[in-house]
Amino acid sequence: MKIRAAVCRAFGAPLEIETLDLRAPVGREVEVALGAVAICHSDIMLADGSWGGTLPAVYGHEAAGRITALGPEVRGLARGDKVLVTLVRACGRCASCSGGHPVGCVGKHAQESPLTDASGAPVVHGLDTGGFAERALVDESQVAKIPEAVPMDAASLMSCGVITGVGAVVNDARLRPGEDAVVIGAGGVGLNAVQGARIAGARRIVAVDMNEGKLAAARDFGATHGVLAAPGDPVAAVRDILGKGAEAVFVTVGAAGAYAAAEAYLSPRGRLVAVGMTPGGTEATYQPAEFVYAGHRILGSRMGDVVLSRDIPWLADLYLQGRLKLDELISARWPLEKINAAIADTRAGAARRNVIVFDEAPER
Protein backbone atom coordinates (compact mmCIF):
# COMPACT_ATOMS: atom_id res chain seq x y z
CA MET A 1 0.00 0.00 0.00
CA LYS A 2 1.21 3.50 -0.85
CA ILE A 3 1.21 5.98 2.05
CA ARG A 4 2.57 9.46 2.64
CA ALA A 5 5.08 9.78 5.46
CA ALA A 6 7.53 12.29 6.92
CA VAL A 7 10.96 10.68 6.51
CA CYS A 8 14.13 11.60 8.39
CA ARG A 9 17.07 11.15 5.98
CA ALA A 10 19.69 13.21 7.83
CA PHE A 11 19.91 13.97 11.55
CA GLY A 12 19.04 17.59 12.27
CA ALA A 13 17.62 18.19 8.78
CA PRO A 14 13.97 18.89 7.91
CA LEU A 15 11.80 15.80 7.43
CA GLU A 16 10.89 14.96 3.85
CA ILE A 17 7.34 14.09 2.78
CA GLU A 18 7.60 10.96 0.66
CA THR A 19 5.41 8.18 -0.70
CA LEU A 20 6.38 4.87 0.90
CA ASP A 21 5.19 1.29 0.59
CA LEU A 22 3.57 -0.26 3.67
CA ARG A 23 3.25 -4.03 3.50
CA ALA A 24 0.15 -5.92 4.65
CA PRO A 25 -0.07 -7.10 8.27
CA VAL A 26 1.09 -10.59 9.22
CA GLY A 27 0.92 -12.56 12.46
CA ARG A 28 -0.12 -10.30 15.36
CA GLU A 29 0.15 -7.08 13.38
CA VAL A 30 -2.54 -4.44 13.10
CA GLU A 31 -2.80 -1.78 10.39
CA VAL A 32 -4.21 1.54 11.57
CA ALA A 33 -5.32 4.48 9.43
CA LEU A 34 -4.22 7.38 11.60
CA GLY A 35 -6.46 10.28 12.47
CA ALA A 36 -3.89 12.15 14.56
CA VAL A 37 -0.30 11.91 15.77
CA ALA A 38 1.20 14.26 18.33
CA ILE A 39 4.77 15.56 18.23
CA CYS A 40 6.72 14.45 21.29
CA HIS A 41 10.11 15.86 22.26
CA SER A 42 11.45 12.30 22.04
CA ASP A 43 10.65 12.29 18.32
CA ILE A 44 12.58 15.54 17.90
CA MET A 45 15.57 14.17 19.83
CA LEU A 46 15.57 11.06 17.65
CA ALA A 47 15.44 13.17 14.48
CA ASP A 48 18.31 15.24 15.84
CA GLY A 49 20.41 12.10 16.39
CA SER A 50 20.59 12.62 20.16
CA TRP A 51 20.49 8.85 20.76
CA GLY A 52 22.07 7.70 17.50
CA GLY A 53 20.19 5.31 15.26
CA THR A 54 19.89 4.25 11.63
CA LEU A 55 18.44 6.31 8.78
CA PRO A 56 16.24 6.77 6.84
CA ALA A 57 13.49 6.50 9.44
CA VAL A 58 9.90 7.46 10.13
CA TYR A 59 9.42 8.60 13.73
CA GLY A 60 6.21 9.50 15.58
CA HIS A 61 4.73 7.33 18.32
CA GLU A 62 1.82 9.20 19.93
CA ALA A 63 -1.11 8.37 17.66
CA ALA A 64 -4.75 7.39 17.30
CA GLY A 65 -6.75 6.04 14.40
CA ARG A 66 -9.00 3.28 13.14
CA ILE A 67 -8.06 -0.33 12.39
CA THR A 68 -8.14 -1.11 8.67
CA ALA A 69 -6.53 -4.57 8.48
CA LEU A 70 -5.47 -7.39 10.80
CA GLY A 71 -2.95 -10.22 10.78
CA PRO A 72 -4.36 -13.75 11.15
CA GLU A 73 -3.19 -14.16 14.76
CA VAL A 74 -4.82 -11.00 16.14
CA ARG A 75 -7.51 -11.57 18.77
CA GLY A 76 -10.00 -9.18 20.40
CA LEU A 77 -9.76 -6.48 17.73
CA ALA A 78 -11.73 -5.83 14.54
CA ARG A 79 -11.62 -3.66 11.45
CA GLY A 80 -13.21 -0.31 12.22
CA ASP A 81 -12.19 -0.27 15.90
CA LYS A 82 -11.11 3.17 17.10
CA VAL A 83 -7.75 2.79 18.87
CA LEU A 84 -4.77 4.66 20.18
CA VAL A 85 -1.31 3.52 19.10
CA THR A 86 1.72 3.51 21.39
CA LEU A 87 5.37 2.48 21.28
CA VAL A 88 4.80 -0.06 24.09
CA ARG A 89 5.22 -3.43 22.39
CA ALA A 90 5.04 -6.43 24.68
CA CYS A 91 5.15 -10.20 24.33
CA GLY A 92 2.73 -10.80 27.21
CA ARG A 93 4.69 -13.83 28.42
CA CYS A 94 8.06 -12.75 29.87
CA ALA A 95 8.65 -12.14 33.58
CA SER A 96 8.16 -8.39 33.22
CA CYS A 97 4.89 -8.71 31.28
CA SER A 98 3.60 -11.43 33.60
CA GLY A 99 4.41 -9.21 36.57
CA GLY A 100 2.23 -6.39 35.22
CA HIS A 101 5.02 -4.25 33.70
CA PRO A 102 4.78 -4.58 29.91
CA VAL A 103 6.82 -1.39 29.43
CA GLY A 104 9.84 -3.40 30.55
CA CYS A 105 9.15 -6.36 28.25
CA VAL A 106 12.26 -8.45 27.56
CA GLY A 107 10.60 -11.09 25.40
CA LYS A 108 9.67 -9.10 22.30
CA HIS A 109 11.46 -9.87 19.06
CA ALA A 110 12.90 -7.30 16.68
CA GLN A 111 10.36 -6.39 14.03
CA GLU A 112 11.38 -6.21 10.40
CA SER A 113 10.40 -2.77 9.15
CA PRO A 114 7.18 -2.86 7.12
CA LEU A 115 8.25 0.29 5.24
CA THR A 116 10.20 0.64 2.01
CA ASP A 117 10.88 3.70 -0.13
CA ALA A 118 10.44 4.25 -3.86
CA SER A 119 13.74 2.47 -4.58
CA GLY A 120 12.70 -0.58 -2.56
CA ALA A 121 15.15 0.20 0.26
CA PRO A 122 13.93 -0.37 3.84
CA VAL A 123 12.94 2.61 5.98
CA VAL A 124 13.31 2.27 9.74
CA HIS A 125 10.03 1.93 11.61
CA GLY A 126 10.91 4.39 14.39
CA LEU A 127 10.06 3.30 17.96
CA ASP A 128 8.20 0.30 16.49
CA THR A 129 5.49 2.73 15.43
CA GLY A 130 6.35 5.01 12.48
CA GLY A 131 3.49 7.35 13.32
CA PHE A 132 4.44 10.35 11.16
CA ALA A 133 2.55 8.68 8.32
CA GLU A 134 -0.97 8.16 7.06
CA ARG A 135 -0.97 4.57 8.31
CA ALA A 136 0.94 2.59 10.90
CA LEU A 137 1.57 -1.14 11.18
CA VAL A 138 2.11 -2.26 14.77
CA ASP A 139 1.85 -5.28 17.05
CA GLU A 140 -1.56 -5.89 18.61
CA SER A 141 -0.06 -5.13 22.04
CA GLN A 142 0.56 -1.53 20.93
CA VAL A 143 -3.08 -0.57 20.49
CA ALA A 144 -5.94 0.01 22.91
CA LYS A 145 -9.59 0.60 22.09
CA ILE A 146 -10.97 4.04 22.86
CA PRO A 147 -14.59 5.25 23.07
CA GLU A 148 -16.07 6.83 19.95
CA ALA A 149 -16.80 9.96 22.02
CA VAL A 150 -13.07 10.66 22.48
CA PRO A 151 -11.76 12.74 19.52
CA MET A 152 -8.75 11.43 17.61
CA ASP A 153 -6.51 14.38 18.50
CA ALA A 154 -7.29 14.12 22.20
CA ALA A 155 -6.92 10.33 22.14
CA SER A 156 -3.47 10.54 20.56
CA LEU A 157 -2.17 12.41 23.61
CA MET A 158 -3.00 9.46 25.86
CA SER A 159 -0.53 7.34 23.86
CA CYS A 160 2.54 8.93 25.47
CA GLY A 161 2.44 12.35 27.13
CA VAL A 162 -0.59 11.66 29.32
CA ILE A 163 0.27 8.11 30.37
CA THR A 164 3.85 9.21 31.01
CA GLY A 165 2.91 12.11 33.30
CA VAL A 166 -0.11 10.63 35.04
CA GLY A 167 1.48 7.18 35.23
CA ALA A 168 4.65 8.54 36.83
CA VAL A 169 2.49 9.81 39.69
CA VAL A 170 0.00 6.98 40.03
CA ASN A 171 1.91 3.88 38.93
CA ASP A 172 5.54 4.67 39.79
CA ALA A 173 5.51 7.10 42.72
CA ARG A 174 2.16 5.74 43.97
CA LEU A 175 1.37 9.14 45.40
CA ARG A 176 -1.08 8.86 48.28
CA PRO A 177 -3.88 11.30 49.20
CA GLY A 178 -2.52 14.04 51.44
CA GLU A 179 1.08 13.88 50.21
CA ASP A 180 2.81 16.90 48.69
CA ALA A 181 4.22 16.85 45.16
CA VAL A 182 6.71 19.05 43.31
CA VAL A 183 6.74 18.95 39.50
CA ILE A 184 9.87 20.38 37.88
CA GLY A 185 8.96 21.48 34.37
CA ALA A 186 5.48 22.56 33.29
CA GLY A 187 5.58 21.44 29.67
CA GLY A 188 3.31 18.79 28.19
CA VAL A 189 4.46 15.91 30.40
CA GLY A 190 4.76 18.16 33.44
CA LEU A 191 1.16 19.33 33.10
CA ASN A 192 0.09 15.70 33.03
CA ALA A 193 2.12 14.98 36.16
CA VAL A 194 0.35 17.95 37.76
CA GLN A 195 -3.09 16.65 36.89
CA GLY A 196 -2.02 13.13 37.88
CA ALA A 197 -1.14 14.48 41.34
CA ARG A 198 -4.50 16.27 41.49
CA ILE A 199 -6.36 13.09 40.54
CA ALA A 200 -4.34 11.12 43.11
CA GLY A 201 -5.45 13.49 45.90
CA ALA A 202 -2.24 15.40 46.59
CA ARG A 203 -2.50 17.95 49.39
CA ARG A 204 -0.35 20.55 47.62
CA ILE A 205 1.17 20.54 44.14
CA VAL A 206 4.01 22.96 43.42
CA ALA A 207 5.07 23.49 39.81
CA VAL A 208 8.60 24.80 39.17
CA ASP A 209 9.49 26.28 35.79
CA MET A 210 11.49 29.05 34.13
CA ASN A 211 8.41 30.53 32.46
CA GLU A 212 5.59 32.41 34.21
CA GLY A 213 3.16 31.48 31.43
CA LYS A 214 3.81 27.79 32.02
CA LEU A 215 3.30 28.23 35.74
CA ALA A 216 -0.08 29.81 35.03
CA ALA A 217 -0.96 26.81 32.85
CA ALA A 218 0.10 24.46 35.64
CA ARG A 219 -2.37 26.16 37.97
CA ASP A 220 -5.11 25.57 35.39
CA PHE A 221 -4.24 21.86 35.47
CA GLY A 222 -4.32 21.62 39.25
CA ALA A 223 -1.12 23.07 40.72
CA THR A 224 -1.79 24.86 43.99
CA HIS A 225 1.41 26.92 43.72
CA GLY A 226 3.95 27.97 41.10
CA VAL A 227 7.60 28.86 41.67
CA LEU A 228 10.02 30.39 39.16
CA ALA A 229 13.20 28.36 38.83
CA ALA A 230 15.24 31.53 38.36
CA PRO A 231 16.17 34.06 39.58
CA GLY A 232 16.18 33.43 43.31
CA ASP A 233 16.21 30.21 45.32
CA PRO A 234 13.36 27.94 44.15
CA VAL A 235 14.16 25.25 46.75
CA ALA A 236 13.80 27.74 49.59
CA ALA A 237 10.59 29.07 48.04
CA VAL A 238 9.09 25.58 47.80
CA ARG A 239 10.09 24.68 51.35
CA ASP A 240 8.58 27.95 52.56
CA ILE A 241 5.28 27.02 50.85
CA LEU A 242 5.19 23.46 52.16
CA GLY A 243 6.88 24.02 55.50
CA LYS A 244 8.98 20.96 54.68
CA GLY A 245 10.13 18.94 51.68
CA ALA A 246 7.80 17.08 49.32
CA GLU A 247 7.06 13.37 49.50
CA ALA A 248 7.45 13.12 45.72
CA VAL A 249 9.41 15.22 43.23
CA PHE A 250 8.91 14.66 39.51
CA VAL A 251 11.58 15.83 37.03
CA THR A 252 9.75 16.10 33.71
CA VAL A 253 12.40 18.01 31.73
CA GLY A 254 15.50 16.49 30.17
CA ALA A 255 17.98 18.86 31.79
CA ALA A 256 20.94 17.83 33.95
CA GLY A 257 20.53 20.92 36.14
CA ALA A 258 16.95 20.01 36.99
CA TYR A 259 18.03 16.51 38.04
CA ALA A 260 20.96 17.80 40.09
CA ALA A 261 18.70 20.16 42.06
CA ALA A 262 15.77 17.78 42.53
CA GLU A 263 16.91 16.00 45.68
CA ALA A 264 16.92 19.26 47.65
CA TYR A 265 13.12 19.44 47.35
CA LEU A 266 12.54 16.08 49.05
CA SER A 267 11.29 15.35 52.54
CA PRO A 268 12.83 12.44 54.47
CA ARG A 269 12.00 9.16 52.68
CA GLY A 270 10.84 11.17 49.68
CA ARG A 271 10.81 9.78 46.13
CA LEU A 272 12.64 11.44 43.25
CA VAL A 273 10.94 10.32 40.04
CA ALA A 274 12.98 10.64 36.83
CA VAL A 275 10.65 11.23 33.88
CA GLY A 276 12.31 13.68 31.46
CA MET A 277 14.62 12.13 28.86
CA THR A 278 18.08 13.67 28.50
CA PRO A 279 20.44 13.41 25.50
CA GLY A 280 22.87 10.48 25.60
CA GLY A 281 25.87 11.11 27.84
CA THR A 282 24.11 13.64 30.10
CA GLU A 283 25.08 13.25 33.77
CA ALA A 284 23.81 14.56 37.11
CA THR A 285 25.78 13.98 40.32
CA TYR A 286 24.59 13.16 43.85
CA GLN A 287 26.19 12.36 47.17
CA PRO A 288 25.14 8.81 48.06
CA ALA A 289 25.38 9.54 51.78
CA GLU A 290 22.62 12.12 51.45
CA PHE A 291 20.30 9.49 50.02
CA VAL A 292 21.27 6.99 52.71
CA TYR A 293 20.84 9.41 55.60
CA ALA A 294 17.49 10.81 54.40
CA GLY A 295 16.13 7.53 53.07
CA HIS A 296 15.54 9.08 49.66
CA ARG A 297 14.71 6.94 46.65
CA ILE A 298 15.25 7.50 42.93
CA LEU A 299 12.68 5.94 40.61
CA GLY A 300 12.97 5.82 36.85
CA SER A 301 9.60 6.20 35.15
CA ARG A 302 9.34 4.96 31.57
CA MET A 303 5.99 5.57 29.86
CA GLY A 304 4.40 5.81 33.30
CA ASP A 305 4.69 2.02 33.73
CA VAL A 306 1.46 1.88 31.74
CA VAL A 307 -0.70 -1.20 31.30
CA LEU A 308 -2.86 -0.26 28.31
CA SER A 309 -5.81 -2.54 29.09
CA ARG A 310 -5.97 -1.18 32.64
CA ASP A 311 -5.03 2.48 32.30
CA ILE A 312 -6.54 3.62 28.99
CA PRO A 313 -10.20 2.85 29.86
CA TRP A 314 -9.69 4.68 33.17
CA LEU A 315 -8.11 7.73 31.53
CA ALA A 316 -10.78 7.83 28.82
CA ASP A 317 -13.51 7.80 31.47
CA LEU A 318 -11.77 10.59 33.39
CA TYR A 319 -11.68 12.65 30.19
CA LEU A 320 -15.36 12.05 29.39
CA GLN A 321 -16.23 12.96 32.99
CA GLY A 322 -14.31 16.25 32.68
CA ARG A 323 -11.70 15.20 35.25
CA LEU A 324 -8.76 14.78 32.85
CA LYS A 325 -7.79 17.66 30.58
CA LEU A 326 -6.84 16.61 27.05
CA ASP A 327 -8.22 19.26 24.68
CA GLU A 328 -6.45 21.93 26.70
CA LEU A 329 -3.12 20.23 26.03
CA ILE A 330 -3.37 20.79 22.27
CA SER A 331 -1.58 23.94 21.17
CA ALA A 332 -2.31 23.65 17.43
CA ARG A 333 -3.33 21.19 14.73
CA TRP A 334 -1.23 20.84 11.56
CA PRO A 335 -1.42 18.89 8.28
CA LEU A 336 1.38 16.41 7.55
CA GLU A 337 2.83 18.79 4.94
CA LYS A 338 3.50 21.35 7.71
CA ILE A 339 5.22 18.93 10.09
CA ASN A 340 8.54 20.80 9.98
CA ALA A 341 6.80 24.03 10.99
CA ALA A 342 5.04 22.13 13.80
CA ILE A 343 8.39 20.74 14.97
CA ALA A 344 9.95 24.22 14.89
CA ASP A 345 7.04 25.55 16.95
CA THR A 346 7.54 22.72 19.45
CA ARG A 347 11.26 23.49 19.68
CA ALA A 348 10.43 27.11 20.56
CA GLY A 349 9.20 25.81 23.91
CA ALA A 350 5.77 27.41 24.26
CA ALA A 351 3.69 24.57 22.77
CA ARG A 352 2.12 21.99 25.04
CA ARG A 353 1.48 19.50 22.22
CA ASN A 354 1.30 20.11 18.48
CA VAL A 355 -0.79 17.50 16.69
CA ILE A 356 -0.63 16.34 13.07
CA VAL A 357 -4.14 15.53 11.84
CA PHE A 358 -5.21 13.38 8.89
CA ASP A 359 -8.44 12.90 7.01
CA GLU A 360 -9.83 9.57 8.14
CA ALA A 361 -8.95 6.98 5.50
CA PRO A 362 -11.32 4.33 4.18
CA GLU A 363 -10.77 0.69 5.10
CA ARG A 364 -8.26 -1.32 3.12
CATH number where 290 lies:
3.40.50.720
The per-residue pLDDT for 361 is 47
130 & 273 share domain: no
pTM over 0.85: yes
Cα angle 32, 354, 337; round to 5? 65
177 & 142 share domain: no
Q: Which of 286, 302, 318 finishes a domain?
A: 302
The per-residue pLDDT for 108 is 81
Query: Which of these, 211, 217, 181, 185, lies nearest to 196 by C-alpha position?
Result: 181
Gyration radius from the chain CA atoms: 20
Q: Name 155's Cβ contacts closer than 8 Å, sequence gap at least 6.
A: 36, 64, 82, 84, 146, 316, 326
The per-residue pLDDT for 360 is 61
Asked if the structure places residue 320 within a domain, the reply is: no
Asked if the structure places residue 68 within a domain, the reply is: yes
The per-residue pLDDT for 223 is 98
Domain count, the chain: 2
Alpha-helical runs (H) found in 82-201: 95-98, 152-157, 161-167, 188-200
340 & 290 share domain: no
Segments of the chain with pLDDT less than 50: 361-364
Residue range(s) defining the domain that contains residue 249: 165-302
Asked if the structure places residue 36 within a domain, the reply is: yes
Asked if the structure places residue 318 within a domain, the reply is: no
Per-residue pLDDT reduced to its tens digit, 305-319 = 999 999 999 999 999
Rounded to the nearest 10 degrees, the angle between the axes of helix 188-200 and helix 212-221 is 30
Asked if the structure places residue 321 within a domain, the reply is: no
Cα angle 148, 303, 228; round to 5? 105
Query: Which of these, 234, 238, 239, 297, lies nearest to 268 by C-alpha position?
Result: 297
Largest Cα–Cα separation, the chain = 64
**Residues written for the chain:** 364
User: Domain with 123 in it: what CATH number?
Assistant: 3.90.180.10
143 & 174 share domain: no
136 & 225 share domain: no
Buried b (16+ CB within 10 A) or exposed e, 125-159: bbbbbbbbbbbbbbbbbbbbbbeeebbbbbbbbbb
Torsion (CA) 137, 140, 145, 148 in degrees, nearest 10: 30
7 & 151 share domain: yes
